[in-house]
Amino acid sequence: MRTAALVLFCAALAGPARAEGLSAGGMTADQHERQTPQPPRDLVAARLGDGSVEIRWRPPPPPPGGPLMYERSFSAYRVYRLDGGGGRRLVAETRELRAVDPAPPAGASYVVVTLQPSGREGARPDAVAP
């Protein structure tokens, strides 16, 4: 009984949008899932002394709806190495803001995309090379 009363009290404090499961931007979690997540920002690839390449980035800007929807908008990052012929190879899938390609071929470039909980990839940023 106390738990139900507390839930109703919190819902009343949050207002009608929160009580119906809507974010501050007026979107449900399902609507956020159908949106394409923004790509990571400030992607940098740097060759390390051992010949590997470190790829670093900043998270994408938060989606409409604030911090609660930010966590729901993507679950991980995928780092791809691109070759000159249009092919791509998965280097890493991570929640970190960096990845290392241990044995990159000459002329490799990289892109990082967000991954939604459903497995759908977000928008692709421009590729970078070390």
**Which pTM value belongs to this model?**
0.69
Q: Helices in the chain by DSSP H: which ranges?
A: 2-14, 16-19, 29-34, 67-73
Looking at residue 9, what is its pLDDT? 34
- Predicted confidence pLDDT, tens digits, the chain (130 residues): 444 433 333 333 343 433 344 444 455 555 555 566 778 999 999 999 999 999 999 998 876 665 555 555 678 999 999 987 778 999 999 999 999 999 999 889 999 999 888 888 988 889 999 9
Where are the chain's structural domains?
37-115
DSSP code for 35? S
- 107 burial class (0-12, 13-18, 19+ CB within 10 angstroms)? exposed
| CATH topology for the 37-115 domain | Immunoglobulin-like (2.60.40)
Under DSSP, is residue 57 helix (H, G, I), strand (E, B) or coil? strand
Looking at the chain, how many residues does it have? 130
